[in-house]
């Protein structure tokens, strides 16, 4: 609790809770059509009481679009990280537990994917599958899978050598039961921390893909799309880029800070 109540922990936790709450609650009170409602008489209007964050080039309220964009970005990032866990966790556990030729085969596949930068790999997959929400989730999830698999394999190799695993093996515990009862529970803290940090990078990746036109498609609200649309108006209406950019920065900052504190809490080796 002292670690969570530190300055870094409080700031990170507050930002994460605030943004997640906005992403979950916003669709319940704000209809999706509100983010696409145009008012050409108020286009590129500055921040005011009517439009606290101003409007974009089509007269759409930036506050509404940023709030709805939080739901879109966090949904894509969350599903992508979940996909990387579903694929990377068993891949890393099997590789680290059985070792030998199976480990070499699986890790060479992982190394092949690691040879490409995560964003470039996601960009390639998204371009091959076509721009859509589902394909963006697949592209980002596949791009982050090898990083998680590597971390899980390393932790599995460490846990397999522990005395309690050797005792369970001597007692006749089967391999599936060994993995479920002894390996997975002891590597999950590292998986949780990595998932939190990967969530921050997934949000950046989603914004990057949407900025390049390979992620979320108009007229949906997305932070990357909002930044992409603001390029031609930076000199006249800088708030059109600053508002979604600040939303991305705050979200990533909060997740990174929360991930750091979570690592200190869940990793006993960090307490020394």
pLDDT in tens, 66-98: 888 888 889 999 999 999 999 999 999 998 888
Q: Taking the domains of the chain in order of start, what are their residue ranges?
A: 2-33+52-267
Cis amide bond preceding 219, omega within 30? yes
Helix (H, G, I), strand (E, B) or coil at 66: helix
**Please, which residues have CB within 8 angstroms of residue 272's CB and are 6 or more apart in sequence?**
none
pLDDT of residue 217: 81
pTM: 0.84
pLDDT at 268: 58
Q: How many CB atoms lie within 10 A of CB 259?
A: 21
Task: State how far the alpha carbon of 125 is from the alpha carbons of 128, 188, 213, in Å.
Answer: 5, 29, 13
Mean pLDDT score, 213-234: 83
Mean pLDDT in residue range 95-118? 86
CATH architecture of 2-33+52-267: Orthogonal Bundle (1.10)
Q: Which of 209, 258, 254 is nearest to 76 (CA)?
A: 209
Structure tokens at 203: 């949000």
pLDDT tens string 6-22:
777 788 888 888 888 88
Using the predicted structure, report yes or no on whether residue 35 has a pLDDT greater than 70.
no
């Amino acid at each position: 609790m002292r670690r969570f109540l530190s300055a870094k922990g409080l700031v990170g936790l507050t930002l994460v809770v605030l943004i997640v709450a906005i992403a979950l609650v916003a669709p319940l009170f704000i209809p999706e059509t509100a983010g696409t409602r145009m008012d050409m008489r108020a286009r590129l209007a500055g921040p005011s009481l009517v439009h606290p964050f101003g409007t974009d080039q089509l007269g759409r309220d930036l506050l509404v679009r940023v709030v709805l964009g939080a739901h879109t970005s966090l949904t894509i990032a969350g599903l992508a990280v979940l996909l990387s866990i579903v694929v990377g966790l068993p891949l890393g556990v099997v590789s680290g537990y059985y070792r030998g030729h199976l480990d070499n085969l699986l890790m060479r596949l992982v190394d092949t994917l690691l040879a490409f930068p995560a964003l470039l790999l996601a960009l390639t997959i998204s371009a091959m599958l076509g721009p859509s929400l589902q394909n963006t989730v697949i592209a980002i999830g596949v791009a982050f899978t090898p990083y998680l698999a590597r971390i899980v394999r390393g932790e599995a190799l460490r846990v397999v050598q522990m005395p309690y695993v050797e005792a369970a093996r001597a007692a006749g515990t089967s391999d599936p039961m060994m993995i479920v009862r002894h390996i997975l529970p002891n590597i999950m803290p590292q998986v949780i921390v990595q998932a939190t940090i990967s969530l921050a990078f997934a949000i950046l990746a989603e914004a990057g893909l949407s900025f390049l036109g390979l992620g979320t498609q108009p007229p949906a609200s997305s932070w990357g799309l909002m930044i992409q649309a603001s390029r031609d108006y930076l000199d006249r209406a800088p708030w059109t880029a600053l508002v979604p950019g600040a939303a991305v920065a705050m979200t990533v900052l909060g997740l990174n800070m929360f991930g750091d504190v979570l690592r200190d809490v869940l990793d006993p080796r960090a307490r020394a």
